[in-house]
Amino acid sequence: MSADITQWLSAWRDGDADAGNRLVGVLYPQLRGLAAQLFRNERRNHTLQPTALVNEAWLRLAGTQALAAADRSHLFALAARVMREILIDHARARARLKRDGGERVTLSGIDVEAPSDETDLVDLDAALERLERIDPAKARVVELRYFGGLSIEETADAMASSPATVKRHWQAARIWLIDAMARQDSGELRDS
Average pLDDT (50-62) is 83
Rg (the chain; Cα; Å): 17
* Confidence band, pLDDT 50/70/90 cuts, at residue 115: very low
9 pLDDT band (50/70/90 cuts)?
confident
Among candidate residues 43, 51, 21, the one with its CA nearest the CA of residue 103: 43
Question: In terms of C-beta density within 10 A (0-12 exposed, 13-18 middle, 19 or more buried), how is residue 156 classed?
Answer: buried
Q: What's the whole-model pTM score?
A: 0.63
Dump strand ranges (E) for the chain. Answer: 104-105, 119-120
C-alpha 75, offset from chain centre: 12
Domain borders along the chain are: 2-185
Confidence class for position 192, pLDDT limits 50, 70, 90: very low
User: How far apart (Å, rounded) are the C-alpha atoms in residues 77 and 186?
Assistant: 32
Residue 61 has pLDDT above 70, yes or no: yes
Mean predicted confidence (pLDDT) in 78-90: 85
Average pLDDT, the chain: 78
171 compared with 107, residue with greater pLDDT: 171
pLDDT higher at 139 or 10: 139
How large is the average pLDDT for residues 126-151? 90
Confidence of residue 112 (pLDDT cuts 50, 70, 90): very low
Provide the pLDDT confidence category of residue 50 given band limits of 50, 70 and 90.
confident
